[in-house]
Chains A and B, each alone.
Chain A
Amino acid sequence: MIKRILILFAIFYLLALLQTSFFIHFKIWGIVPNFILISVLLINVLEKPKKNTGIVAGFIGGFFLDIFSSNFIGFYALILLALSFLIKIIFRKYVWAPTG
């Protein structure tokens, strides 16, 4: 798990740098997509409901959004953490997916 956390840390750090310095130049219909939010959502939706990587990803992704924004540290981290928990609860309780 430690290895997974470190990988997520590196990926989201790089994504935050790309988001604030590179993707900012490319607007799609006037908006710049938030790739960290999209990644967190995808990890949570695509991984097995029993696993916790999505929750850790939500927290780390949110942390880096906080670092590179003018908000206080914890603003996005807590929002994405809560969002990840919500997705996990919904998937664990109400969504059935065939196990391959």
Chain B
Amino acid sequence: MKFTTVKSKILFVAILIGFILSLNFFQKGTKGFFYNLSAPIQTTFWQLGERVSGFFGTIGNLNNLKKINDESQKTIQELLAEKASFAELKKENEILREALQIGLQKDFRLALVRVIGKDIGQESILINQGAGDGLSAGMPVVTQQKILVGRISEVFKSFSRVTLISSKESTFDAKVLASPGEAGGSDTDTTGVARGQGNSKIKFDLVPQDKTLKVGDLVVSSSLGGIYPGGLLAGTVIEVSRNDVSPFYQAEIKPLFDIQNSSAVFVILNFTK
């Protein structure tokens, strides 16, 4: 392809730009076509990537395995102790609900979907179900352990794009649950706004100065803004930055989900904003 004059070169580039931008009028069709074409290959690549990275990850972590095992054992012990106390509370809760004639909280209706790709910018994932399977924009996405992943932002016929909670486009109400028994723990819930920062980082903002946050606190979603159901695990506090001049302070949250190592997630179908 030889362009002899400057004019013809400019014309060619202008046509090219016009053509590519015009594709946005049929964005769903264009992207959907490529997703349909690529889904089987992407699924294979994703599973292969998981296996290979898992293999090399294990080799890399061989030295730390004992340490990780010790820590896991300790966490299991703590969780077992907590589970025992929760069983008591659950029983008490059921009795009180019965006495007050309040129905039990309904469980979520979930749809199991496969992750087939992640955005180049790392802030969204592609799942293998779409409008044809009953999914719609705004539906929350969680992992098997009910850890918040994000919400559906774009729906194609057989695919959907999920914007992660760490995306810059994501903002939702969150809270750190009260822990009155613990040293330095707060007596009431600490509410704030969780804003995605990109690069798997979330900022927990607008935390009132009179509330105490500490590293390791669990942040859960709040039903206040109506974007996500309340009580879904979002992340852990890894850094607290206080500024005495401002009425609020911020903390950095590390999301708990690990998209790299999860090939399946769940979409909450019966949550309406």
Contact call B118/A24, Cβ cutoff below 8 A:
yes
Q: Judging by beta carbons under 8 Å apart, are B45 and A68 in contact? A: no
Contact A25 B260 (CB under 8 A): yes
Q: In the bound complex, do residue B119 and residue A17 qualify as a contact, i.e. CB atoms below 8 Å apart?
A: no
Asked if A73 and B48 make an inter-chain contact with CB atoms under 8 angstroms apart, the answer reads: no
Name which of B20, B21, B50 has the most chain A CB atoms within 10 A of its CB.
B20
Name the one of A18, A34, A63, A72 contacting B27, with C-beta atoms under 8 angstroms.
Answer: A72
Considering the chains assembled together, what is the distance between the CA atoms of A28 and B117 in angstroms?
19
A24 in contact with B49 (CB, 8 Å): yes
Is A74 touching B161 in the complex (CB atoms < 8 A)? no
A contact residues around B49 at 8 Å (CB): 21-26
Q: In whole angstroms, what is the CA distance A11 to B49 when docked?
A: 19
Contact pattern, A 14-44, Cβ under 8 Å of B = 1, otherwise 0: 0001111111111100101010100000000
Min Cβ gap B253→A in Å is: 17
- Of A34, A52, A67, the residue contacting B34 (CB under 8 A) is A67
Alpha-carbon distance A86/B118, docked complex (angstroms): 29
Interface residues of B in 224-261 (CB under 8 A from A): 260-261
**When the two chains form their complex, are residues B121 and A70 in contact, meaning their CB atoms are under 8 A apart?**
yes
SS class of chain B's interface: helix, strand, loop or mixed?
helix
Contact B21 A74 (CB under 8 A): yes
Residues of A near B124 (CB, < 8 A) are 69-70
- Chain A interface residue count: which class? 20 to 34
Interface string of B45-56 (1 = CB under 8 A from A): 110111011001
Q: Across the interface, do B123 and A70 meet the contact criterion of CB distance under 8 Å?
A: yes
List which B12-29 residues lie within 8 A (CB) of chain A: 13, 16-17, 20-21, 23-24, 27
Which of these, B1, B13, B119, contacts A68 with CB under 8 Å? B119
B121 touches A20 (CB 8 A): no
B13 to chain A minimum Cβ distance, whole angstroms, is 8
For A22, list chain B residues within 8 Å (CB): 45-46, 48-49
A97 within 8 A of B: no
Docked Cα-Cα span, A52 to B126, in Å, equals 34
Instruction: Check: A77 CB closer than 8 A to any chain B CB.
Output: yes
> Which one of B16, B17, B119 lies within 8 Å of A20 (CB-CB)?
B119
Is B42 an interface residue when CB atoms closer than 8 A count as contact? yes
A68 to B117, CA, bound (A): 8
CB-CB nearest 10 A-B residue pairs: A21-B45, A25-B49, A25-B53, A20-B117, A1-B1, A22-B49, A22-B45, A21-B42, A21-B46, A24-B118
- In the complex, 13 of the A-B residue pairs with CB atoms within 8 angstroms, ordered by the A residue number, are A18-B45, A19-B120, A21-B118, A22-B46, A25-B50, A26-B52, A30-B199, A34-B120, A70-B123, A73-B27, A74-B17, A74-B23, A77-B20
